[in-house]
Amino acid sequence: MSYEAPALEMRVITKSFAGNSVLAGVSLCVAAGEVHALVGENGAGKSTLMKVLAGVHQPDAGEILIEGRPVRFTRPADALAHGVAMIYQELSLAPHLTVAENIFLGREPLRFRALGVVDRREMNERARQLLSDYGFRLDPRARVGRLSAADRQLVEITRATVEARRCVVMDEPTSSLTAHEAEELFRLIRDLKRRGLAVIYISHRLEDLDAIADRITILRDGREVYEGAWGEISHGEIIRHMAGRELKEIFPPRAAFKGEALLRVENLTRAGKFEDITFDVRAGEVVGLAGLAGAGRTELVEAVFGAQPAEGGEVYLNGARLGAPSPGRAVRLGLGLLTEDRKRTGLCLNQALSKNLTLANVRVLVKGWRLRRGRERTAARDYIERLHIRPPDPEKTVGRLSGGNQQKVLLGRWLFADSRVFLLDEPTRGVDVAARAEIYRAVNKLAEGGAAVVMVSSDLPELLGMADRILIMRRGRLVAELDAKRTTQEEVLRHAALEEGEGAEKVMVDSYV
């Protein structure tokens, strides 16, 4: 076989921000038609490396070669011009534009070239065609700002794949997706492969990578520590390379204990979103909430928390009715909601880590009128250590943390708040395996301490490993309740996806078996 230059090569890239080294000489080589997995702990530098490739950041040293020829990307437009497109981890869409406008942003089909008139009909038509080809159920004319996180991720995927001619980088593209939609994505990736594109895929879900990856590069602390074919290395070894240590068990055992019903939801209804939802959660219990994207789980927990209105039904906390619900009231009564969308409803991105971490419970830091900043820092250090937040700097602006570390800060906020009832919506989105184990331990500790936990997750192994009971929602209704210890992923998925008069065969489950 004659030597052929790889589609894309990055050579000894180094990059530092404000004197902190993030990438210390990383090389990466991807062939055409190959899916290259890029893995590493949170903050290892994966996103930064890819942003260098996409022209967002300029490397301090090192070079990029496309088909053997060195190139310089000083802005994203340059990378796009070379056919390199990227799905960003922190979704980067224009909320005021429509789905179609976002998909074609920068490459609008034109009608009168000289005037630069956008051919709207053509654009919508092509967007509709693409979305249906990809199996994404989205209206091209819908405003992106009103879409759920999952749907926005689909838009982002569509945009990048259309734009890519040589290489597409996917930075955790499935973090908001359920298995069903992820499967559509994998099909799409296989198709891109066939068309000879290089795909770089970043994920913390090793099961996903099993389905598509050809090669793997592992980063640790801004260095590459392993490179090889995907099949040559076991999950355990990957985790060891990532974390630099062995991981004993992902789902630690929890002392069985069940007390009073702390949270009781009765007939909660909001037309078109969820209907007639009744369940309760007892002290010491972890209840999982499963469903496909759009099943209404997020709407339900937000309504319980009072962040969204409910049209009927009641929520009882500790037996007392939670009238006129609002987040302020809920928090004071001991309810906490870890939101699904950390950018929109979670973090104050331009504020310091410590301020974000303590926001839901500033009260305990105050003595007299004065806020004890020492206490705040101590608390922040405590959670930074417990959750392995990197870099361990309480004053760091949260928006500058890596995605997974941002998620940990958000979780830390609710661990720090003295809540008794926790509603955790996708608590481990984008979190690496090792840190996930920490989070599970933390959740177990909460339950053992007498808290009630509702865990919404699209990651079924996580639900099965953590929950006592699993409630399943389908199209806004509670359709089943399963004992987590005695059920399987297939059974959960069957309940979640079953259409009236349809068999379970239609459900895509192969990514988990």
Ligand X SMILES: Nc1ncnc2c1ncn2[C@@H]1O[C@H](COP(=O)(O)OP(=O)(O)OP(=O)(O)O)[C@@H](O)[C@H]1O
What residues contact 40, with CB distance under 8 A and at least 6 apart?
Answer: 46, 218, 219, 220, 242, 432
- A 10 A CB-CB count for 377 gives 14
Query: Are the CB atoms for 288 and 338 separated by under 8 Å?
Result: no
Tell me if 403 contacts Mg ion by CB under 5 A. yes
Q: Which of 50, 213, 337, 431 forms a contact with another protein (CB under 8 A)?
A: 337
Stretch that binds ligand X, among 126-134, 286-294, 323-331, 505-513 (CB under 6 A): 286-294
- Of residues 214 and 340, the one with the C-beta less far from Mg ion: 340
Q: Considering beta carbons, is residue 100 or 453 the nearer one to Mg ion?
A: 453
Position among 390, 413, 420, 474 found at the interface with ligand X (CB under 6 A):
390
Q: Is 74 in the site for another protein (CB under 8 A)?
A: no
Q: Assess contact for 55 and 76: CB atoms under 8 A.
A: yes
Closest listed residue to residue 305, CA positions, set 333, 280, 283: 333
Residue 195 binds ligand X (CB under 6 A): no
Residues from 159 through 188 that contact Mg ion (CB under 5 A): none
Give the angle subtended at the CA of 358 by the CAs of 353 and 360, to the nearest 5°: 130
- Partner from another protein, ligand X, Mg ion, none contacting 480, C-beta within 5 to 8 A by type: none
| SS3 call for 350 | coil
Distance, in Å, from the CA atom of 43 to the CA atom of 423, rounded to the nearest integer, reads 26
Q: Is there binding between residue 43 and ligand X (CB under 6 A)?
A: yes
Identify the residue among 28, 150, 216, 452 touching ligand X (CB under 6 A): 150
Q: Does 359 bind another protein (CB under 8 A)?
A: yes
User: Which of 27, 473, 43 is closest to 293 using CA atoms?
Assistant: 473
Which residue lies nearer to another protein by CB, 193 or 372? 372
Residue 199 forms beta bridges with which residues? 35, 168
Asked if 340 touches Mg ion (CB under 5 A), the answer is yes
Q: Which of 393, 416, 391, 410 is nearest to 402 (CA)?
A: 391
Site string for Mg ion, 45-84 (x = CB under 5 A): --x-------------------------------------
Nearer to ligand X, 214 or 299 (CB): 299
Binding map of ligand X across residues 77-96, x = CB under 6 A, - = no contact? ------------x-------
Q: Are strands 312-317 and 469-474 parallel, antiparallel or unpaired?
A: unpaired
CB neighbour list of residue 146: distance below 8 Å, 6 or more residues apart:
none
Q: How many residues bind Mg ion (CB under 5 A)?
A: 6
Of these, 162, 371, 484, 498, which contacts another protein (CB under 8 A)? 371
In this structure, the number of other CB atoms found within 10 A of the CB of residue 466 comes to: 28
Distance CA 185, CA 78 (A): 26
Q: State how far the Cα of 411 lies from the Cα of 255, in Å rounded to an integer.
A: 22
Taking CB under 8 A as the criterion, the residue among 28, 185, 330, 455 binding another protein is 330
Angle formed at CA 462 by CA 460 and CA 463, multiple of 5 degrees:
65
Q: Give the contact letters, 2-31, x = binds to ligand X (CB under 6 A), - = no.
A: ---------------xx---x---------
Report yes or no: 347 and 430 within 8 Å, Cβ to Cβ.
no
Cα–Cα distances in angstroms (integers) from residue 331 to residues 14, 278, 293, in the given order: 44, 21, 27
CA–CA gap between residue 510 and residue 186 (Å, rounded) = 11
Question: Which position among 7, 36, 46, 79 is part of the footprint of ligand X (CB under 6 A)?
Answer: 46
Nearest to 209 by CA among 181, 194, 188, 230: 230
Other CB atoms within a 10 A radius of the CB of residue 64 amount to: 22
403, 376 contact by CB (below 8 A): no
Per rule CB under 6 A, is residue 217 in the interface with ligand X? no
CB-side neighbour CA atoms (13 Å) of 174: 24
Tell me how far, at minimum, the Cβ of 142 lies from another protein, in Å: 11
Rule CB under 8 A: say whether 53 interacts with another protein.
no
Q: Which CA distances in Å does 316 have to 3, 322, 455? A: 69, 6, 18
Is the CB of residue 10 less than 8 Å from the CB of residue 22?
no
- Is residue 511 within 8 A of residue 211, CB to CB? The reply is yes
CA distance 334 to 351: 25
Provide the minimum distance between the beta carbon of 22 and Mg ion in the complex, in angstroms, as a whole number: 11
Question: Between residues 165 and 400, which has the closer beta carbon with respect to Mg ion?
Answer: 400
Judged by beta carbon, residue 88 or residue 136, the one nearer another protein is: 88
97 binds another protein (CB under 8 A): yes
Out of 161, 174, 217, 298, point to the residue binding Mg ion (CB under 5 A). 298
- Map the footprint of ligand X across residues 443-472, applying CB under 6 A: 458
The interface region with another protein, picked from 233-241, 336-344, 480-488, 500-508 by CB under 8 A, is 336-344
The residue from 14, 21, 148, 488 that contacts ligand X (CB under 6 A) is: 148
Nearer residue to ligand X within complex by CB, 32 or 160: 160
Residue ranges that bind ligand X, judged by CB under 6 A:
17-18, 22, 40, 42-48, 89, 137, 148, 150-151, 176, 178, 273, 291, 293-299, 340, 390-391, 400-405, 430, 432, 458
Residues that bind another protein (CB under 8 A): 17-20, 54, 56, 75-77, 80-81, 86, 88, 92-97, 101-102, 105-108, 110, 115-118, 120, 159, 272, 305, 307, 326-328, 330-332, 337, 339, 344-351, 355, 358-360, 362-363, 365-366, 369-371, 373, 413, 417
Residues that bind Mg ion (CB under 5 A): 47, 89, 298, 340, 402-403
